[in-house]
Amino acid sequence: MAPEPVNVNEFQELARQVLPKMYYDYYAGGAEDQNTLKENTEAFHRIRLRPRVLIDVSRIDMSTTILGYKISAPIMIAPTAYQQLAHPEGEVATARAAAACDTIMVLSFRSTCTVEEVSSSCDAVRFFQLYVYKRRDICAQLVQRAERNGFKAVVLTVDTPRIGRRESDAKNKMIQPKLKNFEGLISSEVDSQDGSKIEAFIKKNFDDSLSWEAIGWLRSITSLPILLKGILTREDARKAVEAGVAGIIVSNHGGRQLDYAPSTISVLEEVVEAVGGRLPVLVDGGVRRGTDVFKALALGAQAVLVGRPVIYGLAAKGENGVRSVIEMLKNELEITMALSGCPTLKHITRNHVMTHHDNRNFSKL
C-alpha cells in the first residue's frame, strides 16, 4: 500500500491516480500557457520568512473571525465546481469536513449537490458563491434559496464575463455535468460537437455585460453581506470599497481565466494598501503550505481560501481527505508561527516576510 500523504502536494498525485483524465485535467488545468497557474505557487516560493526568536510560543492561537464568524484558523474552503466528479458525496463531504475543521466553506454556484443537501448535511457557517447569468431571475432564486438555508454571505465572482481558454478541456471535450440546483430552471444541454461543453454552456448563459451596477441589484434581492472575488488591482479595490461591499477576495480564478494575470500573492499587498483597513481582504491561489498561509497573513490577508488541494483530498479519500488537507495546513501554520515567534495571528507582521520588492539584499543573508 502507498504510504499516507504527509503534505498537501502528495494528495495531488493520489487524485491523479484515481480520477479519469478528463476530470483530473479539468481540476488541475489553467488557461492557455498556464503561466498564471504556475506563478500562483512559485511566487510564494520567492518570499522569505524573517523569524523572531526567544518568544514564548508554548500556546499558539490560530483562531480568527471572518465577517464576525469565528473560525479555528485563517484557512477557508474556496468555491470549486462539480465536486461529485471527484467523489460521489461531492459538496456534502466537503461541507462535513469544513464543519469538522471548524472553518467556512464557500459553496460553488455550480455545485453538483443542491443548496438544501449541503445545508442539511451539517451545522456550520457557509458562504454561497454566485455567477451572474443572463437570466438574473435564476440567480435571484438561488441566492434566496441559499439565504433561506442559512448561508451567511454571498461571494460574487467578478472575473468571469467569459470563460478563459482551458485547452485541456477543449481537447478532452469536457462534459457539462448535470446541476441539480438548476433543475426546472435552465437546461444543462448544449449544442456543441467540438471542444468543452462547459465552455459552450458558459458562453450561452453567463452575463458578459456584468458591471458595477450588479452590486446594487444583488443588494436588492438579498440582505446577506457581499464579498467580491476576483480583484487584482488597487483601482478595482478602491471601487469595491466605494461600492460598499463587505469584503474582497484577491483571486485570479486559480489561473483559469486570464493567463499572464499576476499571481495573487504578488498583488495582495497592493490591494490591502488600497483598502486601508476599511474591509477585510482574503486571498486564494497557490496556497499549498502553512508557510504560504503565514506569508499571506504577513502581507495583510485576513485569511486564505484553498481550492484545488480540497478537490485532491476529496478525490483521494472523500470527507477524510478534505479534513486531512485542512488539518495539514493548520498544523504547518502552527509550526511556522512557533518558529517565527508569533503566538497569535496578531503577532504576524509585515516585518516577518521579505518579498523581492523589499529593499534588502538576499545575497547577504
266 is in an annotated binding site: no
Asked if residue 339 belongs to a domain, the reply is no
Give me the mean pLDDT over the 247-252 stretch.
98
Asked if residue 228 belongs to a domain, the reply is yes
- Please give the grid coordinates belonging to residue 165: 481558454
Asked if residue 288 belongs to a domain, the reply is yes
How many Å apart are CA 152 and CA 106, to the nearest integer? 10
Tell which wins on pLDDT, 356 or 333.
333
Residue 28 lies in domain: 8-40+68-331
166 is in an annotated binding site: yes
Grouping H, G, I as helix, E, B as strand and the rest as coil, residue 77 is strand
| Site of grid cell 483521494 | 316
Asked if residue 47 belongs to a domain, the reply is no
pLDDT at 197 over 80: no
- Please give the grid coordinates belonging to residue 155: 461571494
Asked if residue 105 belongs to a domain, the reply is yes
Query: What per-residue string of b and e applies to 98-135 under the rule 16 or more CB within 10 Å gives b?
Result: bbbbebbbbbbbbbbbbbebbbebeebbbbbbbbbbee
Contact between 307 and 78 (Cβ < 8 Å): yes
Asked if residue 314 belongs to a domain, the reply is yes
* Domain count along the chain: 1
Tell me the per-residue pLDDT of 13-70, one tens digit each, with 9 for 90 and over. 999 999 999 999 999 999 999 999 999 999 999 999 999 999 999 999 999 999 999 9
pLDDT at 269 over 70: yes
253 is in an annotated binding site: yes
233 is in an annotated binding site: no
Asked if residue 351 belongs to a domain, the reply is no
Grouping H, G, I as helix, E, B as strand and the rest as coil, residue 342 is coil
Given 45, 253, 347, 357, the catalytic residue: 253
The chain-wide mean pLDDT, for the chain, equals 92
Residues 6+ positions from 191 with CB-CB distance below 8 Å:
200
**Helix, strand, coil % over all residues of the chain, rounded to 5:** 45, 15, 40
347 is an active site residue = no
Residues 6+ positions from 190 with CB-CB distance below 8 Å:
176, 197, 200, 201, 204
Say what percent of the chain tops pLDDT 90. 81
**Domain with 116 in it: what CATH number?**
3.20.20.70
81 is in an annotated binding site: yes
